[in-house]
Amino acid sequence: MTRDLFADLNEAQREAVRCVEGPLLIFAGAGTGKTRVITHRIAHLIYDIGIPAEHILAVTFTNKAAEEMRSRLAGLSEGTGDPEAAQRVFFSTFHRFCAWLLRNHGESLGVKRHFTIYDDADTTLLIKQILKSMDLDPSLYRPAVISALIDRAKNELRGPADVESSADGPVQEKGAKIFMEYERRLRENGVLDFSDLLVFSVRLLQTSESLRKHFQERFAFIHVDEYQDTNTAQYTLLRLLAEHRNLCVVGDDDQAIYSWRGADIRNILSFEKDFPNARVVTLQQNYRSSQAILDLAYRVIQNNRERADKRLMTTRTGGDAPMLYTAADGYDEASFVAMRARDLSAETPYSDMAIFYRTAAQSRRIEEEMMARGIPYVVVSGVGFYERREVKDLLAYLRILVNPADDAAFSRILNVPKRGIGDTTAAALAEAAKSAGIPQTELLSRLDQSTVSAAVRKKLVDLADLLVVLRKLAAELAIEELLRRIVSMTNYFDYLEKSDPAGFEERAANVQELYTVAQEFTRRSTDPSGALVSFLEEMSLLTDADRADSSADRISLMTLHAAKGLEFSAVFLIGMEEGTLPHASSFESEAELEEERRLCYVGMTRAKDRLFLSHAYSRKIYGESFDDIRPSRFLDEAGLEIPEQFSVIDTGRRFGSRHRPDEGPRRRVDDASANRVVRVPLDEDTAAFGVTPGDRVQHPVFGAGILLRITGRAEEATALVNFERAGRKRLKLAYAKLTRVD
């Protein structure tokens, strides 16, 4: 070891790294360097203690996090005797780890080596089919609800029978029945859904003692990132693997925002009970945000009852006081964000700014504004690349080659591109396959004349022939080449152009992108024999976030959920209103409200230097206008002073709000965007000047006016005052003699 791993760590971090044996819980608040701690700890295990790298497992929730850790560890490995060791550490997401486990050892549970994975779209479709076959009304038993119910049950390691016995109400009762059929069909198709990856892995380790022992030895040291987000299945898996108790979990209960996905915050809160004699280290030294931002966030999160108390302190200096903008409406808010972002861009690149919102739909107005002003932006997430129709279509072809029983893939390609096979034929195929007990793919050329017309039969045979040819090509060609053949043999581009002329170019580009992805994969791949299977697995387990291009200088737009784990110099948190954040659906339950609060907290703590919060009193929701929107309770909790009502005068001069002719006459207000009072809590040094936004102030030269806002702090504090006679002026508080008048 040529390098002191402890040199660049603070005391708490050192303690966490040093403690290598037995259970360890690291409470890592936002921006306290948890990735640094995990990677240093792993490096310490390898290079100082001498643990073979292949005995170390590190599990994360996202591919991105896993990659980040891997590369950080690689950085630490440079210059050591064995820099390659980092490559041998098993960094993986839970799901990828499980897929790996099942590919290699799932046979005993009836999991085929070449299983394919159903994504959300596939499972929703399957549920709809089941509803139809059971003659249930989809509006009563909504597929999304049923899907959530099933997913939830699986994450809690409960089967259809468990759901049935605890059912209260018809949805759950029928849900259990649907669940049962759902499972049957997945097994019949040789496919797993996301949760199955966890469920079967748990079952595997529970049933096979030898495998359990094997993996306990193989992974003698286990690390888990974002432990607060683990669900019951994941927790159980960890318990099975970590019988040796060398389990190090890192997390922050204040950032638990996935309970609706089955994550159980109690996993982290009761770690010490689950693993007696566990060491607990709390990281509270923040390296990311200004103290003002941390304090604001703390005031909010402090209102949660179910949390371990901790408070972040920063080393970082500078930054502006967080500010609140009270907007007239959504357009005004968007306008404010855009203008402020542009101002900021003089000193901060757009790529270091972000706009967060509670629901994806909120991005629209912002996008319009950004477009109108020519501000470069990127919506993070949105419709993922892998969920694009064209991508899914082509992947479905690959899936059906790997797993002929994959019905979701089959129904996707059956009439795509259009080859004149309709619902009637599809139903006949499905029926025949069911009674014959073989996959539909195998049956294509065997449907007899009594069920389908000669013309249709010809089409089916053609498709069958196509698949035979492709299957042969699959064994010979690289994946990219195979994809190109699929596209050319099916005239896929013609189909795309015809079915969606407007979106053709973008879709074609996505297909090209898929070629590139395939090419990349082949370049990286070490095992050509199972290439197609692992390619598909990668496609299923990858998300849009994994391909985000961070090189361009664009401001990022994303939901609060998507913001976790990121940081930006400037953050805009929009739509701070009751009903939006906290979301209306959380009003009934204290637990859900606390989760909304954590969401708010996550958003705030992403900001390094500047945090802008905004809310509007009037907003259009689903095309209907509401004028009595109440500001979010979180603003109160944050200690922000909220203007009573938006009552400012507007000259109608709206920055960038394009003329909207169908909007009717707008309330005439006098120079609204400029003359709005912006209230923010002032720190001591700034408050010492004795004036605060909203005050009526007197100046020796300019006379009386309204203090609109204060930017900067202490000696740098600048007041914007709207003087009755002299108009708007910017004045340094340190020089200008402003006095409050009542």
Applying CB under 7 A, which residues contact DNA?
Answer: 61-64, 93, 95-96, 120, 128, 138-139, 142, 144, 194, 226, 229, 258, 260-261, 263, 358-361, 381, 384, 415, 418, 420-425, 456, 540-546, 558-559, 561-562, 564, 583, 585-586, 592, 620, 622-624, 662
Count Cα atoms within 13 angstroms, Cβ side, for 707.
Answer: 29
Catalytic residue selected from 255, 362, 425, 441: 255
CB 288 within 8 A of CB 608: yes
Annotated catalytic residue: which of 70, 554, 606, 679? Answer: 606
Omega within 30 of 0 (cis) for the link into 417: yes
Q: What does the alpha-carbon distance between residue 599 and residue 644 come to, in Å, rounded to a whole number? A: 25
DSSP secondary structure, 97-110, as one string: HHHHHHHHHGGGGT
DSSP structure class, residue 446: G
- Paired with 331 in beta bridges are none
Closer by beta carbon to DNA, 144 or else 509:
144
Exposure on the CB side of residue 499, measured as CA atoms within 13 A: 15
Q: Could you give the strand order of the β-sheet that contains 323-327, starting from the edge strand earlier in sequence?
A: 323-327, 607-616, 568-573, 353-357, 555-559, 377-379
Choose, from 119, 151, 193, 226, the residue flagged as catalytic: 226
Amino acid at residue number 153:
A
Residue 612 gets which letter from DSSP? Answer: E
Q: Closest Cα to residue 119, out of 562, 423, 537, 531? A: 537
201 within 8 A of 94, measured Cβ to Cβ: no
Q: What is the four-CA torsion angle of 687, 688, 694, 697, rounded to 10 degrees?
A: -170
Nearer to DNA, 485 or 583 (CB): 583
Give Cα 614 to chain centroid, integer Å.
Answer: 22
**Active-site residue, from 13, 32, 34, 633:** 34
Q: Phi first, then psi: what are they for 617, rounded to 5°?
A: -90, -20
* For DNA, the closer CB: 442 or 546: 546
> Active-site residue 225, yes or no?
yes
Min separation Cβ 664 and DNA, Å: 11
What b/e readout covers 540-574, taking b as 16+ CB neighbours within 10 angstroms? bbbbbbbeeeeeeebbbbbbbbbbbbbbbbbbbbb
CB 648 within 8 A of CB 675: yes
Separation CA 636–CA 621 (nearest Å): 23
DSSP assignments along 248-298, one per residue? EEEE-GGG---GGGTB-THHHHTHHHHSTT-EEEEE-EESSS-HHHHHHHH
Instruction: Give me 740's structure tokens.
Output: 């409050």
Whether 226 is catalytic is yes
Residue (of 433, 494, 490, 495) closest to 459 by Cα position? 490
Q: For DNA, which is the closer residue by CB, 194 or 572?
A: 194
Length of the chain: 742
The structure tokens listed for 427 are: 């139903």
Give the nearer residue to DNA in terms of CB position, either 67 or 685. Answer: 67
Which regions of 279-414 does DSSP assign to beta strands (E)? 279-283, 285-286, 313-314, 323-327, 353-357, 377-379
Q: Residue 8 corresponds to which amino acid?
A: D
* Closer of 410 and 689 to DNA (Cβ): 410
* Residue 255 designated active-site: yes
CB of 284: closest distance to DNA in angstroms? 23
CB 705 to DNA: min, Å: 39
Give the torsion through C-alpha atoms of 17, 19, 21, 27, to 10 deg: -80
As a whole number of Å, the CA-based R_g of the chain is 29
CB 156, CB 231: distance < 8 Å: yes
The smaller minimum CB distance to DNA, of residues 146 and 640, is found at 146
Strand partners, 267: none
DSSP 45: I
Q: Considering the complex, what minimum distance in angstroms separates the CB of residue 362 from DNA?
A: 8
Kindly tell me which of 594 and 695 has the beta carbon lying closer to DNA: 594
Q: In the block, which residue shows the tokens 């409406």?
A: 329
Q: In which region does residue 652 sit, left (phi positive, over 0), alpha (psi from -120 to 50) or beta (all else)?
A: left
Q: Pick from 109, 11, 343, 58: which is nearest to 223 by CA?
A: 58
Phi-psi group of 64: left, alpha or beta (phi > 0 → left; psi -120 to 50 → alpha; rest → beta): alpha
Question: What is the residue-wise DSSP string for 147-201?
Answer: HHHHHHHHHTT--HHHHHHT--SHHHHHHHHHHHHHHHHHHHHTEEEHHHHHHHH
Q: How far apart are CA 168 and CA 173, in angstroms?
A: 7
Taking each helix axis as running N to C, give the angle between helix 531-541 and helix 504-524, from 0 to 180 degrees, rounded to the nearest 10: 120
Six-digit token pair at 537?
């697995």
Instruction: Establish whether 628 is a catalytic residue.
Output: no
Side chain identity, residue 483:
L
Among 299, 394, 722, 345, which residue's Cα sits nearest to residue 568? 345
- State the catalytic residues: 34-35, 225-226, 255, 606
